[in-house]
Amino acid sequence: MGSEEFVFLLIGLKWTVVLSAVGFVCGCIAGLGVALARTSEIPLLERVVAGYIAVFQGTPLLMQLFVVYYGLALIGFKLDAWVAVAIGLTLHASAYLGEIWRGSIEAVPRGQSEAARALSLKYVSRMRDVILPQALRISLPATIGFLVQLIKGTSLASIVGFTELTRAGNIISNQIFEPLTVFGIVGALYFLMCCPLTIFGARLEGKFAAASR
């Protein structure tokens, strides 16, 4: 494999990073909305959001990408493939992150929100200043775990036809007929992205577990 091929893989890697970053950031924003709706104590809203989460957790990411990709085209949005994939990943991430953060919001001791109420803090201040900072801390290991999941999930964009790292690997491997070398390198690049995050997440988890002992 020559340097030209490697550069092609690196361009694919760039798109993988872009997809992961956009999916994660937008997914975080939407996921916060999902988590707040899920803990809003408005029964109808909670049920609708619970259904949203169940749908995204009960279907393959690949199908979600297909449905979003073709669904958006169908209702008249002419979008680039990467935008459609980013929207699909955002929806996927919002459901998973929403569920993770619901759990951590509920894990904040009840006394905290009672105390905030007793101090007559309104909903926004109660959430922003009291509950969410604590919930964020609790949720950090799981959130990082999901980020790794999302980075790996961007590889499915290749099946939809977008040239990110995995599809770049496919193209190169069809050109030079060295699939093992190419996919070995592709795998190594994913590993280099994900492994530091995994280690960081595990370390945080250990730290929090020690602190709560």
Partner 1 sequence: MNYTLDFTPVIDGLPSLLLGCLGTLLLAICGMLLAIVIGIGGVALRDSRYKPLRWLVISFVELIRNTPFLVQIFFLYFALPLAGIRLDPTPTAIIALGINGGAYAIEIIRGGVQSISRGQMEAGLALGLHKAQVFRLIILKPALRAIYPSLTSQFVLLTLSTSIASAISAYELTSVSQRIESESFRSFEVYFTVTVFYLVISWLMMRLFAFFSARYFTYPVK
Residues that bind partner 1 (CB under 8 A): 54-55, 57-64, 66-67, 70-71, 73-76, 148, 152-153, 155-156, 158-159, 166, 169-170, 173, 179-180, 183-184, 186-187, 190-191, 194-195, 198
Q: CB of 19: closest distance to partner 1 in angstroms? A: 12
Q: Which is nearer to partner 1, 58 or 111 (CB)?
A: 58
Is residue 153 within 8 Å of 96, Cβ to Cβ? no
Q: CB of 176: closest distance to partner 1 in angstroms? A: 13
Q: How far is residue 98 CA from its own chain's centroid?
A: 10
Q: CB of 186: closest distance to partner 1 in angstroms? A: 6
The torsion of the CA quartet 86, 45, 125, 104, rounded to 10 degrees, works out to -70
Q: Which is nearer to partner 1, 73 or 115 (CB)?
A: 73
Q: Which is nearer to partner 1, 42 or 199 (CB)?
A: 199
Q: CB of 175: closest distance to partner 1 in angstroms? A: 14
Q: CB of 171: closest distance to partner 1 in angstroms? A: 12
Q: Which is nearer to partner 1, 123 or 191 (CB)?
A: 191
Q: CB of 120: closest distance to partner 1 in angstroms? A: 40
Query: What angle (nearest 5°) sits at the alpha carbon of residue 15, between those of residues 14 and 18?
Result: 90
Is residue 183 within 8 Å of 173, Cβ to Cβ? yes
Q: Which is nearer to partner 1, 93 or 116 (CB)?
A: 93
Q: Which is nearer to partner 1, 90 or 154 (CB)?
A: 154
User: Which residue from 9, 4, 42 is spatially nearest to 192, judged by alpha carbons?
Assistant: 9
The string of DSSP codes covering 89-124 is: HHHHHHHHHHHHHHHHHHHS-HHHHHHHHHTT--HH
Name the token pair of 195: 């492994």
CA atoms of 127 and 143, how far apart (whole Å): 19
Residues making up the chain, counted from first to last? 213
